[in-house]
Copies of this chain bind each other. A is one copy, B any other.
Amino acid sequence: MQHPENNEEYKGLTVNSGVEQPAIVNPYLQRGRFARHRLTVDDYVQGILKGNVTMLGQAVTLVESTNPQHQQLAQEVIEKCLPYSGKSVRIGISGVPGAGKSTSIDEFGVHVLERTGGKLAVLAIDPSSEKTKGSILGDKTRMEKLSVHPDSFIRPSPSAGSLGGVARKTRETIILCEAAGFDKIFVETVGVGQSETACHSMVDFFLLIQLAGTGDELQGIKRGIMEMADGIVINKCDGDNVEPCQLAARQFRNALHLFPAPESGWLPKVLCYSGFYGLGIKEVWDMIFEYVDFVKGNGYFEHRRAEQAKYWMYESINEQLRNGFYNNETIAALLPRAERAVLDGQQTSFIAAKHLLDTYFGLLK
């Protein structure tokens, strides 16, 4: 339970420690090495507010660190950045592996930066990344253009912890990015599970990338994920694949009609495009901008953000209640034995839980 770093008390706050995948930022923007001396909260905040991406990357590393000192520093930085956050459009992008997410994000990103200026941050939620060592955004060559674009910041998924923890870290990273002036945020997830719900809980527009199939393409994706989508886009619509894509689009449109009307009042659209050949990218963005105008007009944009904030209040509470318990040194020491006793049938799960809780609440007194 305890992070090995915690034992090295005299270790400085070197922000790289404990993190396997540093941010992918344009290398030409990184002047010199990471500062090795202790940075203060204000150092981070000032750096972020100036749009310094190296400082932003280091602050995100603090957010992702499991070291309690780093965590506290991160929370202070976030609190100071909060008043400067919120002024972005947050777009969730999901799709099963093989749907061409990286290429698409590259094209979507370059297009919107050329079209509207501003800055783009690409983040990810992938709780499996610890196992697979970064299946998402792990390979910077997969976003060839964005990875060297001066106005982009690409960050792989936090690689440690539960989905809840990973998602919280991504949400906190959004705040830092917005404070650093990023007005467009992508949050990428693999379209296979609960990460989508977490992603949906922090974005304004949820885009689902699909592929054409043979009528059974709806099987691969869970209904619940389709229901969350504000837009579905069918990738690889080029060459011989144009007709199958248009057929798939019709099938998705039909399927969407079977779902209950979304709270936003917006009927999700289905479009075809080709990430590889850069076709139809403009139309995808037209859709997103149309959506944003629509929900800003009817008040749903603000409503959704407020509901998300409420959701995150409860998530924060629940996560911190669990952390307080599981990170308690006495509990962490007792837990393996309790687990063993339950697995061996020497103790019931209820009694084991009760003993641990009694111990914990006794310690708090």
A residues lining the B interface (CB < 8 Å): 75, 78-79, 82, 172, 193, 215-216, 218-220, 222-224, 306-307, 309-314, 316-318, 320-322, 324-325, 338-339, 342-345, 348-354, 356-357, 361, 364-365
Contact = CB atoms under 8 A, between A and B. Distances in A.
A306 B222 contact: no
20 contacts: A75-B350, A78-B350, A79-B351, A216-B218, A218-B219, A219-B223, A222-B223, A309-B345, A309-B348, A309-B349, A312-B350, A312-B353, A316-B349, A316-B350, A316-B353, A317-B325, A318-B322, A321-B322, A321-B357, A361-B364
Contact of A357 (B220, B309, B317): B317
Given A321-B325, A361-B324, A349 B312 contact: yes
Contact of A313 (B317, B321, B338): B338
A348 B175 CA distance: 11
Contacts of A356: 317
A78 B356 CA distance: 18
A153 to B, nearest CB: 22
A306 to B, nearest CB: 5
Contacts of A349: 309-313, 316
A320 B357 contact: yes
Nearest to A351: B79
Given A218-B219, A345-B306, A313 B352 contact: yes
A277 to B, nearest CB: 31
In the A-B complex, the 10 residue pairs with the smallest Cβ-Cβ separation, listed nearest first, are A316-B353, A313-B349, A312-B349, A364-B364, A309-B349, A321-B321, A306-B343, A317-B353, A309-B342, A313-B352
B224 A348 contact: no
A306 B219 contact: no
A335 to B, nearest CB: 9
A1 to B, nearest CB: 13
Nearest to A86: B345
Contact of A310 (B193, B219, B343, B354): B343
Contacts of A361: 324, 364
A313 B353 contact: yes
A79 B338 CA distance: 17
B320 A353 contact: yes
Nearest to A258: B219
Tell me which of A322, A344, A350 has the highest count of chain B C-beta atoms within 10 A of its own C-beta.
A350
A107 B223 CA distance: 31
